[in-house]
Structure 1
């Protein structure tokens, strides 16, 4: 089969499209023919080996693993002997390792479920990592509810559009902060208010928010706290900026230490917990039309380097999806 591999850290130029053996499955796995996958910020972090502290686990001088791609949508072509919930022919979506390939072997339990009805494979592939991140941040950590004011900073990227829609589904009044190129998109998916960060600083608006989900961390913590309600919650969810050695760790430490001395809840470093319960919850929201994926562009498998480079530059309007022939 064809698959994307990288064997050294570096720019997207080190990515290769190679012929490799089709994966074998164990008793608890399913073999999925990939129909679409999507790019996440984690892909370029893995590729670059950044921040450098990450290499202590991933490989000091070269990557231990050579796979990219964490979101998958496709068709089950074989199932292990212990798998009962899925069978060949089922259309599924979820998490995997190495989704940028024609086939992937995936543990059936906790990783994939049946694809939402009415969604294309491309739309389904845009969902898992980004939408689960937003769902767990807002529903579980923030416990956002009807009547609250929620601000999503970075409302036009990968996680942001899902966060805006999930907050609306929870009954909140939502403000989305984004660049001018994303304003219409953010408005179209239900944001009650849209702030163009090139024209207005949301931290000086005079508004107070019960929840701030910060996907970009382009304002200081002190500035964000100024517009946070006295008992509000600030969720730091940005891993894209920061130094080459320790990344955003200084910001995370600052958030954690500050949380010890203030009434506001300050939470740092949210990472999605991959599980099928949340995939099912999202499937229900997708099938009822309460949320929908926002896709910027699609690329064939051979153009994964271009797709990752585009996401790394930080101007994607929603998700970037990889399609299979």
Structure 2
């Protein structure tokens, strides 16, 4: 029986999303009867919890909404220690979204430990987490993107008026301001004028030292799932339809009734082919492995396909986009997990 360590939680703002992903993965692996699962949770303050109660403990803390940092530090217990490091497991399945999990940090730890793990390596994870670096690599490969501007917190603080003028000249309004290294639409704002642009840049600068601003378009949001290593497969596309919101922000993603995933997306066959080919190229360009969700804009007026970003550890519940796109393509959630674990073992070997 294959022993799988599932790591979840973490210090990022996507802690709760990670717990939901972990619940889906753990239950499906245990149900299959082919895997022995070792749950490993990381609290918001970075403390590790090991054992069958790790997930329920972190879920209870999330429901209480009490910051972990305010709890008294308990003495180290056996449950806080990984048995013989990672030596007792065959493969690790990280479902850590955002910083300190999707950005190459945990992947580096697993490389040092010499243990196989699901998903991209250090390079692919780090590049894909930083939107500015990711977009530069996409540009090198000639992939179509929206116009964008990158800057640092220090550059913004030293010359706010100058940057507002540059962004207005290069991108115009509306535009979208994003922290470069956060996921799940955390800290993203839409700017329709200079006042909103200033507020958005201030907010993004509080969350990250690198900031990206993208040109706003009248476009549909299309996503595909990618699976594999050297020869990746791409799923049928799905469309994100947002209700009662101006764009696909954190609330739209995780509040019931605020958005809907339509899969397969109702788009022409030639558009589907273009999206799948661009996704495959983007996956290889950043040296991704195992899995990724690739997001696109489909401009309404022209039908132009524009690459938005790649996510190397997307939401992973059975109803998340990544799994739903594969289900529509003929691959069940359980089969998807089997394939990902096999790809991890093949890559390590």
Q: Which has the higher helix share?
A: 2
- TM-score, normalisation: structure 2: 0.25
- TM-score computed with the length of structure 1 as normaliser: 0.26
